[in-house]
A and B are shown apart, each in its own frame.
Chain A
């Protein structure tokens, strides 16, 4: 059976997520298309990270459904997504071995892994650090390694959960450039951030959440020029919203 060319679009229908009866996300319906960089914005506790995890399948919704390309779900679909976390979780081995690990998971033959891993490291400026233990790299290098690892997996979709919030500006910029590389290569970007400047630089489309609800889904230009909702207006004006 041949897999379709892309697992997108991603459709959420009336998705809710509750813990102990307390709804953390409620009634989210949205559709994310290929080729568009989607940035999820919202105040702290709005449910941004939660929404990413539901999309990626790390959490199962309590209500509603998450569908990839109509109906597909399960492990083959997961394999075509990658996620970069706020704090990268790297294995206790060398940088290049971290990338090889993902290639092995993807069924790449042993002989080709070395070259592919080096290619991914080079792309993110890590070639010189290939043999260094991943855990002793700097924060920015670790995050770039997490991106290189995701790159090696060749995903259709890349989720990023506040990937630069623990980094200094220079390291954050290199992560942004990496995100652009993914976008240019055709990988769908879905990213949360609380850095509005970063959102303006990267977003094609904005998903705005507040108190666990989807308040706006708009093209970035429109959203930043004139948000439709009072919550988003207040958020962009830097007021305290919750």
Chain B
């Protein structure tokens, strides 16, 4: 019990004094997950809109797959990216394995199905409401996508931030493709896993607190933006 309280007070000390080693880890985590979510949004939002608005053979199967992949196990994604990027793999030449770039790739793949599937749903629901009006106005296919993505911007922001929460909290994928190298590819989650197994609970707990605060903050932001948007935009 005293071990735990000691660890907790040490953890709080690390947080309050903004320990540079800890800050570096937090910074890398946010950078990696942030870049992954940005990439996933750039691909996933238009992809979701296309899936919602166009009919082509195999569309149904793709939607089912995307929905299923929302729950993809991070370690499996990590393994897949590892095989792709390892020396002997098809993309081994690039030498990306065990770099932050590899972690971004893995997390992008992890988040992409979430962003794409949720934005497909958002755009499809909006189309139910807007479809006749937009066809009446003679809006072209690309115009429809742009219009619905913009009009669904608040719901889509929620989808994107949900993706960020998942990326920031996962450990399996970044562990495998990043390698948890101190000062290079060590994120909050991989550090927590490592330090806990080493029995050094202070840093693990400190990072755990920050991680929870971060995810809570993001969710609070989602909530507030949603409320504001409903009040303001109807």
The residues of A with any CB-CB pair to B shorter than 8 Å are 53, 56, 58, 75, 78-79, 81-83, 85, 89, 91-93, 101-102, 105, 133-136, 153
Q: Which of B138, B151, B232 has the most CB of A within 10 A?
A: B138
The residues of B with any CB-CB pair to A shorter than 8 Å are 129-130, 132-133, 135-139, 143, 147, 150-151, 153, 232-234
Cβ B138 vs Cβ A79 within 8 A: yes
| Contacting residue for B233 out of A78, A89, A92, CB 8 A | A92
- Which residues of chain B have C-beta atoms less than 8 A from A91's C-beta? 130, 147, 151
- Which residues of chain B have C-beta atoms less than 8 A from A89's C-beta? 129-130, 132-133
Cβ B234 vs Cβ A133 within 8 A: yes
- Which residues of chain A have C-beta atoms less than 8 A from B153's C-beta? 92
B49 to chain A, nearest CB (A): 16
| Contacting residue for B132 out of A85, A93, A153, CB 8 A | A85
A158 CA to B140 CA, complexed, in Å:
20
Task: Rank and list the top 8 A-B pairs by shortest CB-CB distance, nearest first.
Answer: A135-B234, A89-B133, A83-B136, A136-B234, A92-B151, A92-B233, A78-B138, A79-B138
> Which chain A residue lies CB-closest to B133?
A89
Cβ B137 vs Cβ A102 within 8 A: yes
A93 CA to B153 CA, complexed, in Å:
11
A174 CA to B53 CA, complexed, in Å:
36
A136 to chain B, nearest CB (A): 5
Cβ A58 vs Cβ B233 within 8 A: no
A56 CA to B129 CA, complexed, in Å:
18
24 A-B pairs with CB atoms under 8 Å apart are A53-B132, A58-B132, A78-B136, A79-B138, A81-B136, A82-B136, A85-B133, A89-B132, A89-B133, A91-B147, A92-B150, A92-B151, A92-B233, A93-B150, A93-B151, A93-B233, A101-B147, A105-B137, A105-B138, A105-B139, A105-B143, A134-B234, A135-B233, A136-B232
| Contacting residue for A133 out of B130, B136, B232, CB 8 A | B232
> Which chain A residue lies CB-closest to B231?
A136
A53 CA to B147 CA, complexed, in Å:
22
B136 to chain A, nearest CB (A): 5
B35 to chain A, nearest CB (A): 29
Cβ A92 vs Cβ B234 within 8 A: yes
- Which residues of chain B have C-beta atoms less than 8 A from A135's C-beta? 233-234
A110 to chain B, nearest CB (A): 16
A53 CA to B135 CA, complexed, in Å:
11
A81 CA to B143 CA, complexed, in Å:
18
- Which residues of chain B have C-beta atoms less than 8 A from A105's C-beta? 137-139, 143
- Which residues of chain A have C-beta atoms less than 8 A from B233's C-beta? 92-93, 133, 135-136
A232 to chain B, nearest CB (A): 29
Given A58-B136, A85-B133, A85-B136: 4 more A-B contacts, CB < 8 Å? A79-B138, A83-B136, A89-B132, A135-B234
A15 to chain B, nearest CB (A): 19
A135 CA to B139 CA, complexed, in Å:
20
- Which residues of chain B have C-beta atoms less than 8 A from A83's C-beta? 136
A56 CA to B234 CA, complexed, in Å:
29
A6 to chain B, nearest CB (A): 17
> Which chain A residue lies CB-closest to B129?
A89
A43 CA to B103 CA, complexed, in Å:
65
Known: A133-B233, A133-B234. Is A75-B129 also a contact (CB below 8 A)?
no
A75 CA to B135 CA, complexed, in Å:
10
- Which residues of chain B have C-beta atoms less than 8 A from A136's C-beta? 232-234
> Which chain B residue lies CB-closest to A78?
B138
- Which residues of chain B have C-beta atoms less than 8 A from A79's C-beta? 138
A82 to chain B, nearest CB (A): 7
Cβ A75 vs Cβ B138 within 8 A: yes
B55 to chain A, nearest CB (A): 16
Q: Which of B135, B136, B233 has the most CB of A within 10 A?
A: B136
